[in-house]
Amino acid sequence: MKYSANSLEHFWMPFTANRDFKNAPRLLVRGEGVYYWNHHDQKLLDGSSGLFCCAAGHGRHEIADAVAAQLKQLDFAPPFQTGQPGSFELARRVAELTPDGVNHVFFGNSGSEAVDSAMKIAYQYHRARGEGQRNRFISRERAYHGVNLGGTSLSGMVRNREAFGLGVAGIAHMRHTWLAENRFTKGQPEQGAELADDLQRMVDLYGKETIAACFVEPIAGSTGVLVPPKGYLKRLREICDAHGILLVFDEVICGFGRTGKAFGAQSFDVIPDMMTMAKALTNGAQPMGAVAVRDEIYETIVAAAPADAIEFLHGYTYSAHPGACAAGLATLDIYKNEGLFERAAELSPYFLESVFALSDIPVITDIRGYGLMAGFDVAPDGAPGKRGTDCQKRLFAAGLHVKMTGDAGILAPPLIIEREQIDEMCSILRDVLTKY
Ligand SMILES: Cc1ncc(COP(=O)(O)O)c(C=O)c1O
């Protein structure tokens, strides 16, 4: 498909320096395997699976064909009070991957919608149990939970919050888990499990009976891959259990093999009450997000309403869209048939070894990593994020796409990446970053 961009003016780009970009656009026009091509026909290695979406690589015909076939047969079906088979089948397939007892799946169109849906499920669950006063949420500094107002309020990224008013009331943030003494730790750091006790402090401060849920990413992805210290997530689970607080894992980046298992929950051996997911659910080929919930949450909410009543007054026109469900089903087939989660686990030591070998580059001040995901920090140059943005542009010009957030780079290549391509990625990183 060929479009020519005759004017760059009309499209208001998201999370982009619009004026700067439009002066020197970086347009991607094709993707295949672990590579993109830009509008100058330059080939770029995709070091971040787009935005952590394309775990099975780009240009997967199986997904495109499944979506096309679905749209020809049934393009849209109202998801309210009617249904279409793909949504039920995809929910069943997702439930096969989630931990035991987490078997009910609510669909939206993005990670942000999944997070806000999970907040509403938490409110309503406690209300249905006669504990409607539980309407506080606890999250974490340096968290990213999307851009809807609930998720913006949960997030702990100052610049993403400051322009948008007071946000949702009653949200408090625990400390993040980055510790200077853990710099350059491969895998889970030894130090820092006690940071989970911040949740206990919130309980002591606000009263356990006021807290609905605690939201964390198993690995905080967007702010640079902050791997949880050993014991940290288990401790959060224990505190939640002690006080009737729901534990929500935001698996939007971690889900679907990134950590070497289906979800971070399995990698870190902690079962949450709810899990949000998106991105790799459809390999990024169609917009889709989901919340998987523990059976008792679904059953409590459903049982609280009369048998013929709508139980949860929430949903999106495009919840479980037929095209997205077809993409999701084809994607999960690929993951299974190609054993991609296991592949990520097998490749992880080589990937981490290669990325950590960059530790000697002076501008790099920290590297972290787990599974097929690693974060590196570059020394700031003046305003926060200035050097990170510059890095992203220089890497792009050198043939590597890497998502930078602030002064952190996030490496999360497609799970189909080969060792030589990991070498190619690290060699471009070395060439570009040693020039600072
Ligand atoms: C952990 C997490 N939650 C939520 C989101 C928001 O997802 P989306 O951009 O699909 O709304 C993201 C996006 O990167 C994310 O990393």
Q: Residue of the nearest CA to atom 7 in ligand 1?
A: 111
pLDDT of res. 87: 98
Expressed in angstroms and rounded, the spacing between residue 145 Cα and the centre of ligand 1 is 6
Q: Residue of the nearest CA to atom 8 in ligand 1?
A: 111
Alpha-carbon distance 230 to 382, whole Å? 34
pTM: 0.98
Q: Please name the fold of domain 65-337.
A: Aspartate Aminotransferase; domain 2 (3.40.640)
Mean pLDDT across the stretch 77-103? 98
Question: Measuring from each residue's beta carbon to the nearest atom of ligand 1, which residues come in under 6 Å?
Answer: 110-112, 115, 144-146, 217, 221-222, 250, 252-253, 278, 289
pLDDT single digits (tens) 376-396: 999 999 999 999 999 999 999
Strands 403-405 and 408-411: antiparallel
Return the domain boundaries, the chain.
18-56+339-433, 65-337
Which position has the token pair 């026109």? 317
pLDDT of res. 6: 79
Q: Mean pLDDT, the chain, as a whole number?
A: 97
pLDDT single digits (tens) 247-302: 999 999 999 999 999 999 999 999 999 999 999 999 999 999 999 999 999 999 99
pLDDT band at 158 (very low <50, low <70, confident <90, very high): confident
Expressed in angstroms and rounded, the spacing between residue 112 Cα and the centre of ligand 1 is 6
Nearest atom within ligand 1 for CA of residue 148: 11
Q: In the chain, pLDDT over 90 holds for what percent of residues? A: 97
Nearest atom within ligand 1 for CA of residue 289: 10
Mean pLDDT across the stretch 185-201? 98
Pocket-testing residue among 113, 116, 119, 144, ligand 1, by greatest number of atoms within 8 A of Cβ: 144
The pLDDT of residue 18 is above 70: yes
Expressed in angstroms and rounded, the spacing between residue 276 Cα and the centre of ligand 1 is 9
Q: Do 18-56+339-433 and 65-337 fold alike per CATH?
A: no
Expressed in angstroms and rounded, the spacing between residue 204 Cα and the centre of ligand 1 is 30
Mean pLDDT across the stretch 237-246? 98
pLDDT single digits (tens) 418-428: 999 999 999 99
Expressed in angstroms and rounded, the spacing between residue 154 Cα and the centre of ligand 1 is 12
Q: Residue of the nearest CA to atom 12 in ligand 1?
A: 146
Expressed in angstroms and rounded, the spacing between residue 57 Cα and the centre of ligand 1 is 19
pLDDT of res. 1: 58
pLDDT of res. 88: 98
pLDDT single digits (tens) 314-345: 999 999 999 999 999 999 999 999 999 999 99
DSSP lists the bridge partners of residue 408 as: 377, 405
pLDDT of res. 163: 92
Q: Residue of the nearest CA to atom 13 in ligand 1?
A: 146
pLDDT of res. 2: 61
pLDDT single digits (tens) 202-222: 999 999 999 999 999 999 999
Specify the CATH number of the domain 18-56+339-433: 3.90.1150.10
Expressed in angstroms and rounded, the spacing between residue 229 Cα and the centre of ligand 1 is 22
Expressed in angstroms and rounded, the spacing between residue 289 Cα and the centre of ligand 1 is 9
The pLDDT of residue 3 is above 90: no
